[in-house]
């Protein structure tokens, strides 16, 4: 409980939290690089005279009635992104041109009946959501806390300018923050805060970071701030209890940005307001391993190894990864993040996700020059690694990048994918993990595994005696043996324990990356009578001879112990899947003809 121990020995006086200059500091904004100011003004001008979308009661009700999340959330996030860029533009220009639109944005968000999403409108974990929000009992979900941090940041940046127009604007912000964030946080228990052994997830640090931003960017008393610090420290400890010492994020690369990076966000705030009291935590190996995870699961270019609810192309790294690497003393992470940042510097605010966190935008803007100066001429070093906490092996050769997941099917954001693998050649996908579609009511419900992308039949896994894998911690690989540091890194496991099969059934899988000759060997052995092998490929497999397949232009696959069963086109029509895949995927199905199946991928 390292956070809590440090919280209990806080200095008597808290420091003022001044992470970035307010708008009145004209010297700081004048010093920003012209290319950054131009991009900010371009974005801000695109929202001049903006018509903030209406959020109707029936829009909120649509999730409960029809399972649709996307329509409400698109309008909700659009409001917040618009306000963010209007605020940044006013800070840069300082002519008052954006202020009326900013006031409209503040007022629109303050007038919302609820800041939580319809999909999160409940008070107890994994219970049914309510049709409409109770305005007297705010729910602290991810995006209520994000909204609190946003408005607190607006207050911090523009309080003087807004006060000159009307004192009611700032007063309204503080009143809403107190009612919707601070009082519920201190007086109620929400599941993500943690208490004992209950599993936590990205919600814990994501919400905690944004509550800390709210209470320190807005003018709350030191007594309230200390109460928030004590609760935040406990939550960070509850979050960390579920991580192995190896730092692996079982929620995947996409959620690293909302888990590991928000842990850093919370730690950074606590460290700043306590005059470095929490600095020692950056030298804790678990924190450093959490930071480095994103580097280890990167493949090449836009691609990442994407188990769980993660896109294969979850977006580039940026200022936050760089700053985490800097704080934790990880120059390789700084290099990795700086390479991505510099590559995207011509369009700082691009990306698939809406920009709803103003604090993150400020981190990008005010660390731009430092990151652009960082020497990125040397290559990023990536070693083979095995994560015992999740059973994830990652191995690379000069042309191949392989990830194999042992572990189990009880992860946060779980897919039934125990024993599956992902393989890239020359930076391009060969054997893929499809990812996750746009979230709906089904995604986080008892019907989750009716969704095809969650099922083991749509991973690189066998169907054994007509059975798919089952969800739950009890369904996991056993007898896992990994060799990550050899010239031929390998992993083997028993997979039958991830299925609901009779105890007499065995199914073992071994995978080896032969670095010297540039091949991957897969060997499955079973006593099951009926096995269909499923393989998800990015390019269409072509059968060139019995036991010989061509996948794309530079991959040949040799098989032994199976015959062709089916080849299906998996249409990629969902918007979220299109983030990663430029065209349809394919499912190759082979039927085992004996007790052993061998495949060599060249």
pLDDT tier for residue 7 given thresholds of 50, 70 and 90: very high
pTM over 0.85: yes
- 66 burial type by CB count under 10 A (0-12 exposed, 13-18 middle, 19+ buried): exposed
Per residue in 359-388, pLDDT (tens digit) is: 999 999 999 999 999 999 999 989 999 999
Classify 144 as helix, strand or coil: helix
Per residue in 211-242, pLDDT (tens digit) is: 999 999 999 999 999 999 999 999 999 999 99
pLDDT at 484: 87
Nearest to residue 392, comparing CAs of 200, 202, 252? 252
pLDDT at 486: 84
Mean pLDDT of the chain: 98
- Site of tokens 């904004």: 29
Mean pLDDT of 55-82: 97
pLDDT tier for residue 450 given thresholds of 50, 70 and 90: very high
pLDDT at 398: 94
Mean pLDDT of 563-570: 97
Per residue in 158-197, pLDDT (tens digit) is: 999 999 999 999 999 999 999 999 999 999 999 999 998 9
- The answer to whether residue 107 scores a pLDDT higher than 80 is yes
Tokens of 291: 């930071």
- 576 burial type by CB count under 10 A (0-12 exposed, 13-18 middle, 19+ buried): middle
Tokens of 75: 């309008």
Query: Virtual CA dihedral for 193, 194, 200, 205, nearest 10 degrees?
Result: 30
> What percentage of the chain reaches a pLDDT higher than 70?
100
Q: Which residues contact 398 (CB under 8 A, 6 or more apart)?
A: 515, 518
pLDDT at 485: 77
CB contact at 8 A, 349 and 447: no
CB contact at 8 A, 354 and 78: yes
- C-alpha 46/C-alpha 361 separation (Å) is 17
Long-range interactions of 46-52: CB distance < 8 A, separation 24+: 46/85, 47/82, 47/85, 47/86, 47/98, 47/101, 48/86, 48/97, 48/98, 48/101, 49/101, 50/82, 50/86, 50/101, 50/104, 50/105, 52/79, 52/82, 52/104, 52/105, 52/108
- C-alpha 569/C-alpha 518 separation (Å) is 28
pLDDT at 196: 86
Domains and CATH numbers, the chain: 2-373 (1.50.10.100), 385-601 (2.70.98.70)
Tokens of 485: 């540091």
């Amino acid at each position: 409980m390292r956070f809590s121990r440090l919280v209990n020995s806080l200095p008597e006086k808290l420091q003022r939290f001044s992470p970035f200059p307010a708008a009145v500091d004209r010297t700081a904004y004048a010093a920003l690089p012209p290319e950054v100011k131009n991009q900010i003004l371009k974005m801000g001008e695109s929202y001049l005279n903006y018509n903030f979308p209406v959020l109707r009661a029936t829009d909120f009700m649509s999730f409960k009635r029809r399972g649709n999340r996307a329509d409400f959330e698109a309008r909700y996030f659009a409001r917040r992104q618009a306000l963010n860029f209007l605020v940044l533009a006013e800070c840069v220009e300082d002519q008052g041109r954006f202020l009326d639109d900013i006031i409209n944005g503040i007022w629109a968000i303050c007038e919302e009946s609820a800041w939580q999403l319809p999909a999160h409108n409940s008070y107890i974990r994994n219970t049914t959501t309510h049709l409409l929000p109770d305005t007297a009992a705010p729910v602290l979900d991810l995006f209520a806390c994000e909204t609190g941090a946003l408005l607190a940041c607006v207050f911090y940046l523009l309080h003087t300018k807004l006060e000159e127009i009307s004192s009611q604007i700032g007063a309204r912000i503080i009143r809403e923050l107190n009612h919707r964030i601070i009082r519920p946080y201190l007086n109620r228990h929400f599941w993500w805060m943690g208490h004992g052994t209950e599993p936590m997830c990205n919600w814990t640090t994501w919400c905690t970071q944004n509550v800390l931003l709210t209470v320190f960017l807005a003018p709350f008393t030191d007594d309230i701030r200390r109460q928030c610090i004590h609760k935040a420290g406990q939550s960070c400890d509850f979050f960390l209890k579920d991580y192995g010492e190896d730092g692996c994020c079982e929620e995947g690369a996409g959620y690293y940005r909302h888990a590991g990076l928000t842990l850093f966000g919370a730690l950074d705030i606590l460290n700043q307001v306590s005059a470095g009291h929490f600095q020692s935590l950056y030298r804790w190996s678990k924190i450093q391993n959490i930071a480095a995870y994103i580097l280890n699961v990167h493949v090449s270019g836009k691609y990442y190894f994407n188990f769980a609810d993660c896109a294969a192309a979850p977006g580039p790294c940026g200022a936050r990864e760089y700053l985490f690497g800097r704080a934790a003393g990880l120059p390789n992470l700084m290099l990795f993040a700086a390479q991505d940042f510099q590559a995207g510097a011509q369009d700082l605010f691009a990306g698939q996700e809406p920009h709803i966190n103003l604090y993150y935008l400020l981190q990008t803007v005010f660390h731009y020059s430092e990151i652009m100066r960082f020497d990125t001429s040397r290559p990023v070093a990536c070693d083979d690694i095995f994560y015992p906490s999740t059973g994830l092996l990652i191995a690379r050769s000069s042309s191949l990048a392989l990830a194999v997941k042992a572990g189990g099917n009880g992860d946060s954001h779980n897919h039934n994918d125990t024993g599956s693998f992902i393989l890239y050649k020359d930076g391009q996908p060969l054997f893929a993990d499809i990812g996750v579609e746009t979230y709906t009511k089904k995604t986080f419900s008892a019907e989750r595994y009716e969704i095809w992308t969650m099922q083991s039949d749509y991973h690189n896994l066998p169907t054994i005696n007509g059975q798919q894998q089952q969800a739950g911690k009890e369904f996991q690989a056993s007898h896992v043996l990994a060799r990550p540091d050899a010239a031929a890194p390998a992993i083997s496991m028993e997979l039958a324990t991830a299925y609901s099969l009779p105890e007499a059934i065995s199914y073992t899988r071994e995978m080896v990356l032969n670095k010297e000759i540039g091949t991957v060997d897969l060997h499955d052995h079973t006593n099951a009578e009926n096995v269909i092998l499923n393989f998800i490929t990015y390019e269409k497999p072509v059968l060139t001879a019995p036991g010989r397949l061509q996948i794309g232009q530079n991959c040949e696959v040799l098989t032994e112990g199976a015959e062709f069963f089916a080849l299906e086109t998996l249409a990629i029509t969902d918007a979220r899947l299109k983030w990663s895949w430029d065209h349809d995927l394919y499912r190759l199905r082979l039927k085992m003809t004996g007790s052993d199946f061998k495949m060599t991928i060249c």
